[in-house]
Amino acid sequence: MKKTPFILYLVLPCYNEEAVLPISIERLTLFLQQQILSGSISPESRALFVNDGSTDKSWDIIADNHQTNPLICGVNLSGNVGHQNALLAGMETAKDLADVIVTLDADLQDDITKIPEMVELYEQGCDIVYGVKKERKADSFFKRTSARFYYRLMDGLGVKTVYNHADFRLMSSRAVEQLFQYQERNLYLRGIIPLLGYKTGTVYEELRPRAAGESKYTFRKMINLAINGITSFSIKPPRLVTGLGLVFLLLSVIIFFYVIISRLRGVAVSGWSSLILSLWFIGGCILIGLGIIGEYVGRIYLEVKNRPRYNIEKKLLD
Ligand code: UDP
Ligand code: MG
- Give the alpha-carbon dihedral of 151, 157, 158, 159, to 10 degrees: -50
pLDDT digits (tens, 9 = 90+) for 4-63: 789 999 999 999 999 999 999 999 999 999 999 999 999 999 999 999 999 999 999 999
Of 31-40, 59-68, 265-274, 298-307, which gets the smallest average pLDDT?
Answer: 265-274
Ligand 2 centroid to Cα of residue 188, in Å, is: 18
pLDDT at 3: 58
pLDDT at 2: 52
pLDDT grade for 257, boundaries at 50, 70 and 90: very high
> CA 276, 279, 281: angle at the middle one, nearest 5?
110
Q: Are 96 and 143 in contact (CB under 8 A)?
A: no
Angstrom distances, CA of residue 189 to CA of 115, 229, 301: 20, 9, 18
The DSSP code sequence of 21-42 is: HHHHHHHHHHHHHHHHHTTSB-
Provide the residue type at 279 as one letter. L
Ligand 2 centroid to Cα of residue 107, in Å, is: 5
Q: What is the mean pLDDT of the chain?
A: 90
Taking a 5 Å cut-off on Cβ, the residues next to ion ligand 2 are 105, 107, 109
Q: Whose CA is nearest to atom 9 of ligand 1?
A: 14
Short-list 118, 80, 107, 126, CA closest to 224: 80
Closest ligand to Cα 215: 1
The reported pTM is 0.85
pLDDT digits (tens, 9 = 90+) for 201-229: 999 998 888 888 888 888 888 888 888 88
Higher per-residue pLDDT: 318 or 122: 122
pLDDT digits (tens, 9 = 90+) for 223-246: 888 888 888 888 888 899 999 999
Q: Which residues pair with 74 in a beta bridge?
A: 49
Q: Whose CA is nearest to atom 19 of ligand 1?
A: 215
Ligand 1 centroid to Cα of residue 155, in Å, is: 24
